[in-house]
Structure 1
Amino acid sequence: MPQGSGPVGFIGLGMMGLPMARSLLRQGRSLVVCDADPVARQAVAEGTAPGAVAVAETPAAVADIADIIVLMLPDSNVVAAVMEGQGGLLPGLRPGQVVIDMGSSRPGETRRLAALAASRGAALLDAPVSGSVVKARAGTLAIMIGGDDAAYAKAEPVLRGMGETLIRTGAVGSAHAMKALNNYVYAAGLLATAEALRMAEASGLDLAIFADVLNASSGRNVATETKVKQEILPGRYQGGFQLGLMRKDLETAGSIAEETGVQAAALALCRGLWNEAVAALGPKADNTEIHRFLGDRR
């Protein structure tokens, strides 16, 4: 175990949370975990040393043990339930504890929960991640962090156990805002790429060569580089990020547009198409299936 560190609390062992927790275990951390899924609770401990993982029945029980508590939960509603619901974290928080919300939450809700944590003498950081399940397994995620310096100093060693690149973004809530806006830009790029591929196909163009042109030219983006030849052209559609999660991030970006009064017309168009795709394919479909959706839509 890293010197001077106690168990890290980890709540939320889903698609991203499980490999992130296992990355911490590989770094020599011990964990106290909480998740409703018994399969996930069992999976996190597989192959670890005896005593490396303890299971808590409630978030409050995690707060009794861990000074640093990681939340990797689907959205702000679930985070609020874990913080404020029956058996939640908030009543048990004590001075000096740090809660790290690593999901994609709404910035305004993050600021509200941070104020509640501060009233208990604890701190809440927002630290959403960028990267796939593959990067979560490798511990090489990019992590954006919002919050004060003292809380960050306590959390940094834990964050470095899961991420390769740490970016301080400013006050609490700023990281969740930047994550949502980043994912809007990614969604717009993937959507434009998928539309261009459909037009190229209808024009009888060689799609593999077109992908090479995109990646050697100004149209290059992360979707052209990591999704076209790898997932879309072979019809694999296994990019590792669900349509429903993409829609959630776009809705968060939309709330930022409304709060700031920015007339984000391109965002509105993008949100509309992604919402149509979720309605057609379901929220658990892969985000690269936006390409399949556009083909069916014709």
Structure 2
Amino acid sequence: MTDPAADPGPIAFIGLGMMGLPMASRLVAAGFSVRGSDLSEQALAAFAAAGGIVCASARTAAQGTTIVITMLPNGSIVRDALLGSGGAALALAPGSLVIDMSSSAPMETRQLAEELSAREVFLVDAPVSGGVKRAVSGTLAIMAGGDPAQIERARPVLSAMGSTIIATGAPGSGHAVKALNNYVSAAGLVAACEAVLIAEKFGVDPNVLVDVLNVSTGKNNSTELKLKPFILSRTFASGFSMALMAKDLRTAADLSEQLGVDAEGARDAATLWAEASATLGKAADHTEIHRFVAGRSVKPEQGG
């Protein structure tokens, strides 16, 4: 069995996308030897330029490592990258650790933890919050679910990518908390957008409304960090896609149903964001929800 307190040696990082590339680069900058794998040649070239070691496949990246990090679009892709044909977990020795930093479905994560445990491989689910900007600066908020000893084992690695690491409980709990966090964030953003539209209709300067919100009880992440920079400016360039937000909201709504919790707000939010994503396209930034809400708010003039 691998000694958790020992030097982790080379780390495999699978998934060098918009978030994965800066996260893996932070590990390289912190002095870790990182072996990256991705389907995109462009991503691999960028990782090599950052000092990373490029590998042809997930399994090749994992060979000779005891820690594998995944940062992929969803839990199904994570499972395939680990346990599918040529999967990374197939190359791991007993006692190795997988850290899934993707936004995966909590119940699927529980099942994956059991499957990896049967191979004597540990799983910590450690999704992140903060977007590309905080991935680049290494100041992500990280939610970690799993055995406490394995979370501590992962902490030095996670600390190179995030400034806040919170243990959330058993395997899958990190992914549950991440989905619920994004539900609350998305609900606050929609409320803020609706408030802006109402203020404008009444003749109030939206910038004034935002200033009031941010010194009052209506203040939230969206009023502080999204309304003026991305929505009132019409740049819509926060770096987090609407499709990913819609996915996380569906995860939260599905979890409530799986647990027998009647969460109408979560269901409504998942439906709204799914409609917005379908209307505006997968490439739309999540702050473009304002455009969708504005379009829905236009009422035909009533005849006299």
**Range into which the TM-score falls when normalised by the shorter chain:** over 0.9
Cα deviation for residue 64 of structure 1 reads 1.3
Other-structure match for 1:13 = 16
**What CA deviation, in whole Å up to 9, does each residue of 1:63-107 have, x standing for no partner?**
212111110001011112112221112322321210000010001
Q: Normalization by structure 2: what TM-score?
A: 0.93
Deviation at 1:54, TM superposition (A): 2.1
- 8 Å contact 2:8–2:67 — kept in the other structure? no
Question: Which shows bigger deviation, 53-62 or 259-268?
Answer: 53-62
| In 2, Cα distance between equivalents of 1:45 and 1:55 | 6
Distance 2:80 2:283 in 1: 23
CA distance in 2, matches of 1:68, 1:151: 11
5 Å matches for 1:57-72? 57-72=56-71
**Kept after mapping to 1: 8 A contact 2:8/2:66:** no
Q: Percent same amino acid at aligned positions?
A: 48
1:143-292 equivalent positions in 2, closer than 5 A: 143-292=142-291
Q: 1:85 to 1:47 in 2, by over 3 A?
A: closer
Which residue is 2:121 aligned to?
122
Q: Is the 8 A contact 1:32 1:66 kept in 2?
A: no
Gaps of 5+ in 2: 1-5, 299-304
| Equivalent residue, structure 2, for 1:109 | 108
Contact kept in structure 1, 2:99 and 2:124, CA below 8 Å: yes
For residues 95-147 of structure 1, give each alpha carbon's deviation from its aligned partner in whole angstroms, at most 9, with x where no partner exists.
Answer: 12100000100011111111111111110110000102110001110101001
Quick one: which amino acid aligns to residue 95 of structure 2? G
Provide the residue aligned with 2:46 in structure 1.
Answer: 43
**Is the CA contact 2:25–2:50 (under 8 Å) kept in the aligned structure 1?**
no
TM-aligned CA deviation for residue 247 of structure 1: 0.6
User: Does the Cα contact within 8 Å between 1:101 and 1:124 map onto a contact in 2?
Assistant: yes
Q: Secondary structure at the residue paired with 1:188?
A: helix
- The whole-number CA distance in structure 1 between the counterparts of 2:265 and 2:217 is 19
Contact 2:64 2:92 in 1 (8 A): no
Q: Mark the runs of 5 or more structure 1 residues left unpaired by the alignment.
A: none
Aligned pair 1:23/2:46, yes or no?
Answer: no
Q: Which amino acid aligns with 1:196?
A: A
For 1:66 and 1:35, locate their aligned partners in 2 and report how far apart those are by CA, in whole Å.
Answer: 17
The answer (yes or no) to whether the contact 1:177–1:253 under 8 Å persists in 2 is yes
- Count of residues paired in the alignment: 292
The equivalent of 1:295 in structure 2 is 294
CA 1:4 to 1:266, structure 2 compared with 1: closer, same or farther past 3 Å? closer
Q: Distance in 2 between matches of 1:102 and 1:148?
A: 16
| Contact kept? 2:47, 2:54, Cα under 8 Å | no
Matched, 1:33 2:33: no
